[in-house]
Each structure stands twice: as C-alpha cells, then as structure tokens.
A = this chain, B = another copy of it.
Amino acid sequence: MAERVVYLNGQIVPESKASISIRDLGFLHGDAAFDTARTFNGKVFKLREHVDRLYQSLKFLRIDPGMPAEQMAELTGEVARRNAPLLGRNEDYWVSQRVTRGRVDDASHRATVLIECRPLPLKQRAKYFRDGVQLVTSSVRRTPPWVMSPQVKTHNYLNVVMADLEVKSQNPDAWVALLDERGNLSEGSSYNIFLVKDGVLYTPRAQMVLNGITRQTVLELASQLKIPMVEKDVDLFDASASDEMFVTTTSVCILPARNFNGVVIGNGHIPGPVTKGLMAAFSERVGMDYVGQYLAHLGE
C-alpha cells in the first residue's frame, strides 16, 4: 500500500522514514516556526500567503531556513502533489512547513526543514457543522506579545494546550476561548473568533492573536459583501451582547458557534444570517462546498 511522503532537509522521503533528532532544538525547546495551509479538492489554498507568513515567523525567531520563499512554496506544492493520489473521497490535507533552529550539537546551526501532509479530521469535526461549537473561556490567559508575539506561529504551544485541557476537563465538547492579558477575548486553539452585532463584524485586534489566513480571507469577503468590520478589544460583554459568533481556521474555514460560556448566542439559530452569507462566499471563494464536505462525513 502506498505511503505519504515528506520533504526533510533536501530529500523527499516516505513519512515513516522521516524523523527528528533528539538533539534538534525544534524538539528540545520547541524552537521552530511552522505554517499550515489546507487543500480544497487536493489543491493548496493561498499557499504563498502561508509561506510568506512562515518567513515572517522565521525572521522574528532569527532562524535562517536556508532557501528563499519561492523554493519553499515550490517544494510544498511538490509534496502536496505527490500525496494527492492518497486522498480518499471527499478528503483533503493539511499541508505544513516546519523549520527548526537545527541541532544543539551542530555548530553550523543549519535549520531543519520539514514539509508534510496530514488528512483533515473531517469525520471528527462534522458534527460541529450540524450543532455549532460551544465556546468556553479558560482561566489560563493567552501569552501576551511581550512574552512571545501570538502573531508568530511557533512550536511553543503549551499555553493554549493547557487552556484547552482545562475547559475540556469540565466539558469534553467545549472549544476553548482564551482571554488576553486584559481580559479581552483573544483566540482559541488555533482558531480566530468573530462576533456579529447589529450587522457589524467584530474580531480581536491582530496584535493579540495569530492573524489567521482564514481570518484575513473573512475580512476580504466581508469587504466584498459590504459587511462593516471592526478590529478592537472585544470582551465578555460584547460576547454576551452579540447576535452571532463564529470561529475561523484553516481546517474548518468558517464554523458557527452555538453558545458562549453556556449561554445561547443571539436567538440561538445557527448559522445566523451574516455567518451564513460569509460561509457561502467562502465556499465560492475556494471553489468547493466545504460545509458539504464536512457534513458528508456525519455518521461515518
């Protein structure tokens, strides 16, 4: 049976042959940047935007990937193409680049570069498109910019992991919403959060969150649909007063939320009209009914 391949330090190798040294700083310190795009019908969406953001992360971390962005994008396309035949019906991939600071015992500090694909968990997440997600705030607050900018996508993710485990310990179906240092909403476990109130779209300021490519796509679509958009400090009052809420991330694109800290959002119908319009526009933008793809896996 065929096996997925990955790019690792100059070579395309079968995934089962690829591994990371126990001396790699990406393992020892989480000292690495990454970025993750996804495919729609097997094609990588906004690949270059993802690679550009990766290079921004790398510059911040002072890691030299040893190749220009163009090459990273080409190699990523190559890895995706080679793995595409292994996709099942109605399936798609996460496609990630991961670049570490190299080995602790390598004086030349040559970066480790990995490009890999992983099937999306469409089946596990299908129900959320039927039911909406339950957002629950954690007592753990999101890492502030003065510790490590949340705009940099790194392998240091324990802050969010701990927040997620905390809310799941009380409700295994909860999706965590972290607050920032000042108690404003920030982001979840790799997803951005949006509110709708009186027809206006609100989302936390980019400084306090990862500025998701899907987040940016939503802002583009909102602009096309003439939905006014405001980035600002959004707090628990705003969440309570909102008509609609949704989350965005590479894998689920736009996904409506049902309640917030146990309280029904708006009138409780999901998706609300603004969310629905954005979801439809997103499907059109990516050339595929992404919601249908998820729902097709319901009951598997």
The answer to whether B170 and A136 touch across the interface, beta carbons within 8 angstroms, is yes
Rounded to whole Å, the gap between the CB of A104 and the closest CB of chain B is 8
CB of A143 closer than 8 Å to a CB of B? yes
Rounded to whole Å, the gap between the CB of A157 and the closest CB of chain B is 4
In the complex, per-residue mask of A152-177: 1 if CB is within 8 Å of any chain B CB, else 0: 10111111011001110111001000
Counting chain B CB atoms within 10 Å of each CB, the highest count among A116, A149, A237 belongs to A237
Contacts of A118 in B (CB 8 A): 23, 105
Considering the chains assembled together, what is the distance between the CA atoms of A205 and B215 in angstroms?
Answer: 25
Q: With A19-B20, A62-B165, A138-B139 known to touch, is A147 a contact of B170 (CB < 8 Å)?
A: no
Rounded to whole Å, the gap between the CB of A293 and the closest CB of chain B is 21
The answer to whether A235 and B114 touch across the interface, beta carbons within 8 angstroms, is no
The answer to whether B29 and A158 touch across the interface, beta carbons within 8 angstroms, is yes
The answer to whether A139 and B169 touch across the interface, beta carbons within 8 angstroms, is no
Rounded to whole Å, the gap between the CB of A202 and the closest CB of chain B is 12
Interface residues on A, range: 35 or more
What residue of chain B has the Cβ atom nearest to residue A138's Cβ?
B139
Contacts of A233 in B (CB 8 A): 205, 207
What residue of chain B has the Cβ atom nearest to residue A114's Cβ?
B22
The answer to whether A21 and B22 touch across the interface, beta carbons within 8 angstroms, is no
CB of A18 closer than 8 Å to a CB of B? yes
CB of A128 closer than 8 Å to a CB of B? no
CB of A287 closer than 8 Å to a CB of B? no
Contacts of A22 in B (CB 8 A): 6, 8, 15, 18-20, 98, 114, 116
Considering the chains assembled together, what is the distance between the CA atoms of A147 and B161 in angstroms?
Answer: 11
Considering the chains assembled together, what is the distance between the CA atoms of A167 and B62 in angstroms?
Answer: 13
8 A-B residue pairs with Cβ-Cβ distance under 8 Å, sorted by A, are: A19-B22, A28-B98, A29-B155, A143-B147, A149-B236, A156-B159, A170-B262, A207-B235
Binding site for B on A (CB under 8 A): 6, 8, 15, 18-24, 26-31, 56, 59-62, 98, 101, 105, 114, 116, 118, 136-149, 151-152, 154-159, 161-162, 165-167, 169-171, 174, 179, 181-184, 205, 207, 233, 235-237, 240-241, 261-263
